[in-house]
Chains A and B, each alone.
Chain A
Amino acid sequence: MDFSNLSLVTQPKIDSNWFRKDYLGALRVRLSLGRNNYRVNPGLYKLGNPGKEAEVIVTSNYKLSFDIVRRSLKGLNAWILVLETYGINVWCAAGKGTFGSDELIRQIKDSQLKLYVTHKRIIVPQLGAPGVSGHKVKDATGFSVKFGPVRAEDLKDYLSAGMKKSTNMRTVQFNLPDRLILTPVEIVNSLRYLLYAIIVVLLLSGINSNGYSFSEIWQEGIPASFYLLLAYASGAFIGPALLPWLPFRHFGGKGLVAGFLAFGLVAFLSSTEYSMSHIMGWLFISGAVSSFLTMNFTGASTYTSLSGVRKEMRLFVPIQIALILVGLTLVIVSQLK
């Protein structure tokens, strides 16, 4: 009796369709809600009815990654080997090493993959390469790692082309839709700080030439909160959206320009009479806030290096702090007149 066939039955069987809970889950994590716990169990899965010659596709246990992989393989029979990355996507987990050679070797052995396939190939997403050393995995397991396309959407074309990648398939993109889909997470994650900043600005709005007035909090504080909101939107949304078109290579510089433009436009269009020091003050604050938030988008971007981020922070963090201090001083001075 062939016992290897018996254990086949124990592999969870999945299909490539998405149901309502998958769409809702994807929407939820894109909004940064419960994103750290959106997971599937690691291990070997059967997509359709894979035979002993079916390909083995490796992915992370972030459920969104897993769902996109299975959906991309619609109509195919394949094995899907899910690594324990604690709910983190392939690329980020590879950077940390959790999507790495050791975990891949462990899953190949624990799942007894060699009992299910007769070939010795596994397809690892190319963006897993910062964590997976192909030769190390081969030495430890006998399976040779084929680094597949960057995007799961290209998996079918990659397979039908005989595991050949075009330059496009191996290149990371960062186009407008790629950037926009990442902005909600940044927006939601920094909301807390926006709230603190609004409270501070409301409290400062009460300062006037007679000392302190609570009615000013209402009169000055509401527009001030709006300016902050605008700077926030500029840094967390407009900056990332217009990334390639804004001047400077530094994200902080791009955000600074976006913040200046956003506030400048509103100040220009608004009919309210404000003193020059009030307007300049808010221009500086807007630039600083927007610059900081767009600088933080480096973490979501697909092409910034640690050396580069460090270099730009050495330049832009002092600029941001100076602009905030000068801006706040100007605004308070304008209130004292």
Chain B
Amino acid sequence: MDNQRYLKNVATLEYDSSMCIGCKMCVEVCPHNVFKMTNKKAEIIHLDRCMECGACEINCITHALTVKQGVGCAAAVISGFLKGTEPNCDCRAGASCC
């Protein structure tokens, strides 16, 4: 059952297929099967499943993929808002997170 669909049309993932060299790393690292190989090029098939973890971006050697990496955690957004920083689940400080 595909019970892991979050909000529609919010993911910041962007892809320039002209830069793709077909190394398949994005397919390999994506935990939600956002990509598929079509004619030796990556293709985004499930944009709404993207959780912005950033694995594809840092493993894309040609920088064909970009995404604004972040933690999808409300507690982190609140603590970031209170501290005036970017959302960051600082588990070391004992905050409730991951």
The yes or no verdict on A and B being binding partners is yes
Residue positions of A touching B, CB distance < 8 A: 32, 35-36, 86-89, 91-92, 94-96, 101, 126-127, 129-136, 147, 150, 165, 167, 170-172, 174, 185-186, 189-190, 243-244, 249-251, 295-296, 298-313
For A92, list chain B residues within 8 Å (CB): 89, 91, 97-98
A168 to B7, CA, bound (A): 23
Q: Is the beta-carbon distance between A172 and B96 smaller than 8 angstroms?
A: no
A-B contact pairs, 26 of them (CB 8 A): A32-B96, A36-B92, A36-B94, A95-B53, A95-B54, A101-B58, A126-B29, A133-B59, A134-B59, A150-B31, A165-B28, A170-B30, A243-B3, A302-B31, A303-B5, A303-B72, A304-B51, A305-B50, A305-B51, A305-B52, A306-B52, A306-B73, A307-B11, A307-B12, A308-B72, A312-B7
Which residues does chain A contribute within 8 Å of B12, judged by CB atoms? 305, 307
**Would you call B5 and A305 a contact (CB within 8 A)?**
no
Q: Is B55 an interface residue (CB 8 A)?
A: yes
| Cβ–Cβ < 8 Å partners of B69 in chain A | 95, 130
A86-B31 Cα distance, complex, nearest whole Å? 24
A334 CA / B6 CA spacing, docked (Å): 39
Residues of A with C-beta under 8 A to B97: 92, 299
Q: Which residues of chain A come closer than 8 Å to B4, judged between CB atoms? A: 172, 174, 302-303
Known: A88-B91, A134-B59, A299-B73. A171 touches B32 (CB 8 A): yes
A244-B1 in contact (CB<8A): yes
Minimum distance in angstroms from A16 CB to a CB of chain B: 26
Distance of A250 Cα from B25 Cα, bound (Å): 31
Q: Cα distance A174–B6 when bound, in Å? A: 13
Residues of A within 8 A of B11 (CB): 305, 307-308
Given A170-B28, A171-B33, A309:B77 Cβ within 8 A: yes
Asked if residues B59 and A306 are in contact (CB atoms below 8 Å), the reply is no
Please tell me if B71 contacts chain A, counting CB pairs below 8 Å.
Answer: yes
CB-CB under 8 A from A172, the residues of chain B are 4, 31-32
Do A171 and B73 touch (CB < 8 A)?
A: no
Query: Would you give the shortest CB distance from A184 to chain B, in whole angstroms?
Result: 12
Cβ–Cβ < 8 Å partners of A95 in chain B = 53-54, 69, 71, 89, 98
How many contacts between A and B, using CB within 8 angstroms? 156
Q: How far is the CB of A291 from chain B (nearest CB, A)?
A: 11
Q: What residue of chain B has the Cβ atom nearest to residue A308's Cβ?
A: B7
Interface size on B, residues (CB 8 A): 46
Q: Chain A residue with minimal CB distance to B27?
A: A170
Known: A36-B94, A243-B3, A299-B98. A126 touches B31 (CB 8 A): yes
Given contacts A296-B74, A309-B74, 15 further A-B contacts (CB under 8 A): A92-B89, A96-B89, A133-B59, A134-B59, A170-B31, A251-B74, A296-B96, A298-B74, A299-B98, A304-B72, A306-B68, A306-B70, A306-B87, A307-B70, A309-B73
Instruction: Indicate the member of A127, A131, A172, A303 with the most B CB atoms within 10 Å.
Output: A303
At the interface, is chain A mostly helix, strand, loop or mixed? helix
- B76 touches A (CB below 8 Å): yes
Determine if B37 is an interface residue (Cβ-Cβ < 8 Å). Answer: no
- Docked Cα-Cα span, A186 to B97, in Å, equals 8
Q: Is B75 an interface residue (CB 8 A)?
A: yes
Known: A129-B29, A167-B33. A299 touches B74 (CB 8 A): yes
Verify A134–B77 contact, CB threshold 8 A. Answer: no
- Whole-angstrom CA separation of A146 from B91 in the bound complex: 28
CA distance A117 to B61 in the complex (A): 27
CA distance A80 to B70 in the complex (A): 29
Instruction: Find chain B residues with CB under 8 A from A309 CB.
Output: 72-74, 77
Chain A residues, CB < 8 A from B94: 36
Q: How far is the CB of A92 from chain B (nearest CB, A)?
A: 4
Query: Closest 3 interchain pairs by CB?
Result: A306-B70, A299-B73, A304-B72
Asked if B75 contacts A296 (CB within 8 A), the reply is yes
Best-surrounded residue of A87, A130, A302 (most CB of chain B within 10 A): A130
B88 within 8 A of A: yes
Q: Is the CB of B98 within 8 A of A305?
A: no
